[in-house]
Amino acid sequence: MKIEKVTLREIRMRLKAPFETSFGVIEERRILLVEVIADGVRGWGEITAMQSPSYNSETTDTAWHIVSDFIAPTMTGRDLSGAAEVPGLLSGIRGHYMAKAGVENALWDIEAQQNGIPLWKLLGGTREEIACGVSLGIRENAESLVKKVEQELRCGYQRIKLKIKPGKDLDFVAAVRDQFPHILLSVDANSAYSLEDAEHLGKLDRFELLMIEQPLGWDDIYSHARLQAQIRTALCLDECINNPRDAETAISLRACKIINIKLGRVGGHTGARRVHDICLDRGVPVWCGGMLESGIGRAHNIAMSTLPGFTLPGDVSASSRYWSEDIIEPEVDVSPHGTICASAGPGLGYAVKRELVDRLSVRSRNWTDSVKVSV
Ligand code: OSB
Ligand code: MG
């Protein structure tokens, strides 16, 4: 796999509706797309960092810097045996998993195309249809949330996740649970609470939630272990799990009973598969998290979700929930029973709408084998 060209683009995409989490309201995504050409084959990856460092420490701009000044110059012109070599090659760059993932995943797309098989098969996927849930932002009042839940259930989604924060938690969950006593229901706090809130969080036990996702510090596995010992509901870690060692630590400390795997957060498909393998081995169910991705990131998420350990519905939902027009063809559709079928085409299995990407681009930069940097 000789890397001939790397192109980095920033596109802006406005969400159909604002998405509120405990760390703020997201109305527009500033997404970085990575296009790599190796042996004449083109592959795509997406960098899922938010524009502010409020989910984790990366941002769209830190990722632009790290890819531009370190990753792309390291990769361009190199001859690799496969995409799985990338983490080793980039190990001298500390952290910045989301930036690395965008580049590595483009190479996975290429490798699958070179083998003439779908990416999900190359990764070792075992199911052709994945189970889907939705993540619902914080809303003004419980009534409008209940209406939204009803609408998503009508679309077929198999699990509903509610974003919560202090002051917008118990009443909202109670209203939804009252209306829908039997659905798979979970909550995600994005690190909005502290261990002193243990008693308060324990009040969620009565709602028979599937899980409480990342209630405590974004980098604090230990406190989650203390909390899990005090409440019945399963904790799920998102922000805390950045690599296989974090997964080992969290499972050994009993800090969680479920893990959310996000491709960007763990540095790409190689890291994701390692985290998945550890969880499968230790009997910890995993599911695929989302970062309000464009179709390219979404297609990578679908491929990953076909691995055997992904036994819970993920935050992978239809393109049309997020965008008036997605950048891939066909768009991602969800069946009436809340599933997505993995594409049978080679690589990602979706075509990138290049003219649309061009129209949405606000900056781009490329690196080629002969001329390492050109603006
Ligand atoms: O914590 O899972 C999260 C979106 C942005 C940042 C963090 C999270 C989320 C979501 C949305 O929950 C999931 C999606 O629909 O893509
Ligand atoms: Mg989360």
The ligand 1 atom nearest the CA atom of 289: 2
Asked if residue 289 has its Cβ within 6 Å of ligand 1, the reply is yes
Per-residue pLDDT of the chain (375 residues; tens, 9 = 90+): 999 999 999 999 999 999 999 999 999 999 999 999 999 999 999 999 999 999 999 999 999 999 999 999 999 999 999 999 999 999 999 999 999 999 999 999 999 999 999 999 999 999 999 999 999 999 999 999 999 999 999 999 999 999 999 999 999 999 999 999 999 999 999 999 999 999 999 999 999 999 999 999 999 999 999 999 999 999 999 999 999 999 999 999 999 999 999 999 999 999 999 999 999 999 999 999 999 999 999 999 999 999 999 999 999 999 999 999 999 999 999 999 999 999 999 999 999 999 999 999 999 999 998 754 544
Residue 281 neighbours by CB under 8 Å, 6+ apart: none
Cα–Cα distance, 245 to 261 (Å, whole number): 14
The ligand 1 atom nearest the CA atom of 293: 16
Cα–Cα distances (Å) from 282 to 247, 257, 286, in that order, read 10, 10, 11
Cα–Cα distance, 63 to 47 (Å, whole number): 8
The pairing of strands 286-288 and 258-261 is parallel
How far apart are the CA of 214 and the centre of ligand 2, in A?
6
How far apart are the CA of 373 and the centre of ligand 1, in A?
34
The residue whose CA is least distant from atom 1 of ligand 1 is 190
Cα–Cα distance, 21 to 190 (Å, whole number): 7
Do the beta carbons of residue 18 and residue 7 sit within 8 Å? no
Cα–Cα distance, 88 to 86 (Å, whole number): 5
Asked if residue 240 has its Cβ within 6 Å of ligand 1, the reply is no
Residue 252 neighbours by CB under 8 Å, 6+ apart: none
- Annotated catalytic residues are 163, 262
Nearest bound ligand to the CA of residue 238? 2
Asked if residue 292 has its Cβ within 6 Å of ligand 1, the reply is yes
The ligand 1 atom nearest the CA atom of 213: 1
Asked if residue 135 has its Cβ within 6 Å of ligand 1, the reply is yes
Task: Note the pLDDT of residue 136.
Answer: 98
How far apart are the CA of 86 and the centre of ligand 1, in A?
26
Task: Note the pLDDT of residue 374.
Answer: 47
Task: Note the pLDDT of residue 369.
Answer: 86
Task: Note the pLDDT of residue 287.
Answer: 98
Task: Note the pLDDT of residue 375.
Answer: 46
Cα–Cα distances (Å) from 274 to 98, 162, 256, 269, in that order, read 16, 28, 18, 9
The pairing of strands 41-47 and 24-38 is antiparallel
Asked if residue 48 has its Cβ within 6 Å of ligand 1, the reply is no
